[in-house]
Structure 1
Amino acid sequence: MKKKLLFVLFLIICCAAAWGWYWYKKPRTSVAAIASTVTIPSTTLYYQYQQNAAAADSLYAGKVLTVTGVVDDVQHSDSTVSIFLHGAGLNGVNCSMAVTHNKKPLPGKGVSITIKGRCTGYLMDINLVDCIIE
């Protein structure tokens, strides 16, 4: 009986490890082939979320947006790049993209740029994921 219990426990741990490895290695998607539903300036998008986040979520969350704005910051990590577009004050639009999906050179601070990505909502900043530079 004890051997069966240990075998079942071992099997559960192996399945959990395989599931975690799958999600860790799953390739990132890109919105390159998806048409955007809205083209909007980053300041307008941020203002709409700041005024009424629930209403803005109903318009933008989960949808592919094309956002234009001025770059406030660019941050690199091993596999991702985050481009922060100006919104209001210290907050704005955080655009996250996989390094492998970025075909154009990264912009510098203060440059006006257009980025397409999937909106995931608002939490201090508006977040766009799976982005590409247009």
Structure 2
Amino acid sequence: MKNKIILVLVAVLIVLGGYIALRMYNKPHVNVAESDPDLVLFSQTLLEDFESDEISANTKYLEQIIQVTGKIQKLGTANGNGTITLNNGDSMGGIICHLSEKENKKMVSLREGQEIMVKGICTGYLMDVILINCVLVN
């Protein structure tokens, strides 16, 4: 009898786990360009928050659409898409903004030292804050 109960519980857990995994895999894509930002701030504020308390900053910023204003420190590419690194101050790190495919063409008009506004989804901090699916905001 106990074996049957354990077997049923394991089966329920497997089905539940499969359902959750399927829901996560089919999670709808967020269109950053058409979405309103959850937070609007300056690049230095975002960097300082992560550098001073990464755990608290993760709670506040992860998976949020963030609109950041800052100066371009570096322009580059990664996996065929444009990247913009923002840094306004004395911080060692920066904010790496991975542009969406549609935004790549706009990189031609950008210059280092120029102040811009970028909107993207925050995915975390690894010496730099990472924003993905970024679009340039006029």
**Normalised by the size of structure 2, how large is the TM-score?**
0.70
Q: Which residue of 2 aligns with 1:55?
A: 56
Q: Aligned runs of 1:39-118 on 2, under 5 Å?
A: 39-77=40-78, 79-86=80-87, 88-102=90-104, 104-105=106-107, 106-118=109-121
Unmatched runs of 5 consecutive residues or more in structure 2: 1-28
Secondary structure of the residue that 2:106 maps to in structure 1? coil
Q: CA RMSD in A?
A: 2.0
Separation in structure 2 between the aligned mates of residue 29 and residue 78 of structure 1, nearest angstrom: 21
Match of 1:119, as an amino acid?
Answer: C
- Structure having the larger proportion of residues in strand: 1
Cα drift, residue 91 of structure 1? 1.2
- State the percentage of identical aligned residues: 28
Secondary structure of the residue that 2:44 maps to in structure 1? helix
Separation in structure 2 between the aligned mates of residue 100 and residue 79 of structure 1, nearest angstrom: 12
Unmatched runs of 5 consecutive residues or more in structure 1: 1-27
Cα drift, residue 97 of structure 1? 1.0
Match of 1:39, as an amino acid?
Answer: V
**Normalised by the size of structure 1, how large is the TM-score?**
0.72
Q: How many residues align?
A: 107
Separation in structure 2 between the aligned mates of residue 61 and residue 78 of structure 1, nearest angstrom: 23
